[in-house]
Amino acid sequence: MPKIKINGIELFYEVYGKHNTEGTIVFFNGVMATASSWQSQVDIFVHHGFKVVVHDLRGQLKSDKPKGPYSFKQHAHDSMELMKALSIEKAHLIGTSYGGEVILTFTLQYPDMVQSIAVINSVSEVDEALREGVNEWKRLAQTYDGETFFRGMLKSVYHPVYLKDNAELLEKRAKQFAAIPKDYFDGQIALYDTFMNDLNVTSQLHQIKVPVLIVTGENDELKPRHFSDLMAKEIKHAQYVIIPECGHVTIFEKPQTLNPMLLGFVLSQK
């Protein structure tokens, strides 16, 4: 399992694509996810000649989980150092949920390393309704029971149609979650606290000058559309897409819609 020592901790990462004829993509995970969550997106970009980097942030499944909370600037610095270690001077950044929020901070901190950003189901600030939703996830994580945790968060992240159509798959994943390592939950709790206490970049969004794609699920209950509306208002040059009949996990729920959109956006920046 490839890891690299960055800022005193070990980060898990993988690199795909040998030819790198089109540029580099760096993916940033949602809070509960891991690098493998991007596989369908990785495949399409590698097929079109991109070098692709996936990695787990500090606190996520395959990376170290030091005591938190962390900060979004700390996450951005970790990822910047990873890119430097991999000799990546500039890249297209794609992130979902928490990963998209890390990308916003990264772009504000290190604009010269960014070619474009795609921010999926993300927010630039936290309101009380969102805080309560994440606090519920925190309470579930504090049970240290993987199956209880997985089942408890399902309705808040997936569209009802996806839940119905994928009931067998999700049941299997719930059983698999029963065996997840206990330190996973320590990392989750630290990440939730970071999100609730440290995310507030709305007033800085106008500083972002690189090409931007904002994507949201029309029926995202966890991070509703008004958060993406706000980001699109503040980043006036952003392209903004709302995907119908889609909840919070667009990368799983609507890959057939999302993947060509991401590829077309990145290719248009040549």
Backbone angles phi, psi at 53, to 5 degrees: -120, 130
Tokens representing 173? 């994943």
pTM for this one?
Answer: 0.97
Picking from 141, 28, 92, the residue whose alpha carbon sits closest to that of residue 266 is 92
pLDDT (tens digit per residue) in 125-150: 999 999 999 999 999 999 999 999 99
How buried is residue 244: exposed, middle or buried, by Cβ count under 10 Å (0-12/13-18/19+)? exposed
What pLDDT, in 10s, does the model give residues 41-96? Answer: 999 999 999 999 999 999 999 999 999 899 999 999 999 999 999 999 999 999 99
Mean pLDDT of 156-178: 96
For residue 109, name the pLDDT band (cuts at 50, 70, 90).
Answer: very high
User: What is the homologous superfamily of the domain 3-125+200-267 according to CATH?
Assistant: Alpha/Beta hydrolase fold, catalytic domain (3.40.50.1820)
Instruction: Say yes or no to pLDDT of 98 above 90.
Output: yes
Neighbour count for residue 87 (Cβ, 10 Å): 7
Q: Using CA atoms, how far apart are residues 223 and 167, in angstroms rounded to an integer?
A: 23
- What's the pLDDT score for residue 59? 98
Report the mean per-residue pLDDT for the chain: 96
Rounded-to-integer distance, Cα 106 and Cα 74, Å: 9
Neighbour count for residue 67 (Cβ, 10 Å): 8
Give residue-wise pLDDT tens across range 178-232: 999 999 999 999 999 999 999 999 999 999 999 999 999 999 999 999 999 999 9
Write down the domain spans for the chain: 3-125+200-267
The residue among 153, 141, 155, 152 whose CA lies nearest residue 190 is 141
Distance CA 225, CA 247 (A): 10
- In this structure, how many other beta carbons lie within 10 angstroms of the beta carbon of residue 125? 15
Quote helix, strand, coil % in the chain, to nearest 5.
50, 20, 30
The contacts of residue 136 (CB under 8 Å, 6+ apart) are: 152, 156
For residue 19, the model assigns a pLDDT of 67
